[in-house]
Amino acid sequence: MKKRMISGIQSSGTITLGNYIGAIQNFIELQNEYELFVFIADLHSITVPQERKTLQHNIRSLAALYLACGLDPEKVTIFIQSEVPQHTQLSWILECSTYMGELERMTQFKDKSRSQADSNMNASIGVGLFTYPALMAADILLYDATFVPVGEDQKQHLELTRNLAQRFNNKHGDTFIVPEPIIPTAGARIMSLTDPTRKMSKSDPNQKSFISLLDPLPTIAKKIKSAVTDSDGVIAFDPENKPGLSNLLTIYSVLTKRSIADIVLEYTGCGYGKFKGDLADIVVQTIEPIQQRYQTIYNSELLDNVLDAGAQNAQRLANRKLTKVQNKVGLGRKRK
Ligand code: AQP
């Protein structure tokens, strides 16, 4: 029997080249090897303020992009997180055995709460941003997933998931599978095009910092060509001293499946202009067919059918696990 794997992406904007390289490309490879569950993490996305219409569009758009990028609904269960209410139900139970100190240590909470406070001095930080890792633990533990494909930045959250699973199992007897992370080696972390010391993020207020999969193609090329690099003009991979160029070399390498050493050799002696121009072509060639497929999928009935079937399959498994958990904890009524 195939091992089960689960992952999701937040509907907090249109997915970026970073999400594509760090997450979706891996899903596509993994869908043949594993029983894969991929969801649209709409509940996670409301941990920071969202506008209703934009959120609704982003949820549908992300689902359409999953299909347009090559996820096969015959092989993968694709569903919207909020359409499976067991996620929030288990999340609450897990929160009750999560310690404040554990959540306070999460670097993503520190980063996101800081950037929210920076962008609006009067911003109050929602509790959901703080308890987000318990919801992520529920997302995973509901499905007995053995593996979770995560970017480097999600490693800490997965460690907490493992701790919560073990804590529950120790107290109530074997209930959850303790999941293992799978971290892709190449292209695990794609950096911002304007500040290559920060990761590329779809909710970055600076549009030039990321490539969205739905950006117009000329905009994509322009963003690559104007990406921040350095002024010494030497093509070399050195993330510490040349973070901008190294980020572009990583993107080039992942999209062409060529080694960085090989690419550096090819461009030695060339200026950054030639290298960036070629990379712009490569990124455009990758994204163009995705955009074409997306256009036909977004308004199709097929998309709703896929999401309905996905929610039904997810609910079936999630409900089985939640009932077991509620029973072990002693919640609800024991029927005579
Ligand atoms: N820059 C990145 N490079 C490689 N992988 C990335 N991922 C995100 N950014 C990069 C991976 O994409 C998956 C889904 O991410 P998410 O949307 O659930 O959350 P995130 O990591 O917070 O992504 P963003 O784009 O930065 O979203 P916002 O701006 O909403 O916070 C994860 O596997 C992640 O590792």
Question: Please, which residues have CB within 8 angstroms of residue 63's CB and are 6 or more apart in sequence?
Answer: 40, 78, 80, 303, 306, 307
112 as an active site residue: the answer is: yes
User: At 4, phi and psi to the nearest 5?
Assistant: -95, 145
2 as an active site residue: the answer is: no
Task: Quick: pLDDT tens for 173-203.
Answer: 999 999 998 876 555 689 999 999 999 998 8
Q: How far does CA 91 lie from the centroid of its chain?
A: 19
Q: What is the arrangement of strands in the sheet containing 76-80, beginning at the earlier edge strand?
A: 76-80, 35-41, 4-10, 147-149, 180-182
Structure tokens at 21: 């390289």
Structure tokens at 272: 């950054």
pLDDT, mean of each 10-residue run, the chain (336 residues): 91 94 89 95 94 98 98 97 98 97 91 75 81 97 92 86 98 97 71 94 92 98 96 91 96 94 93 95 98 96 98 98 97 84
- Domain covering 4-183+301-329 in this structure, CATH number: 3.40.50.620
225 as an active site residue: the answer is: no
CA of 253 to the centre of ligand 1 (A): 20
Distance of alpha carbon 206 from alpha carbon 128, whole angstroms? 24
CA of 42 to the centre of ligand 1 (A): 14
CATH domain 207-295 topology: Tyrosyl-Transfer RNA Synthetase (1.10.240)
Q: Is-same-fold flag (4-183+301-329; 207-295)?
A: no
Q: Is the CB of 146 under 6 A from ligand 1?
A: no
Q: Domain ranges in the chain?
A: 4-183+301-329, 207-295
Task: Return the H-helix or E-strand segment holding 164.
Answer: helix 155-172
For the CA of 16, the nearest atom of ligand 1: 25
36 and 76 Cβ atoms separated by less than 8 Å: yes
321 and 145 Cβ atoms separated by less than 8 Å: no
CA of 77 to the centre of ligand 1 (A): 20
Residue in 2, 202, 257, 328 annotated catalytic: 202
Its pTM stands at 0.92
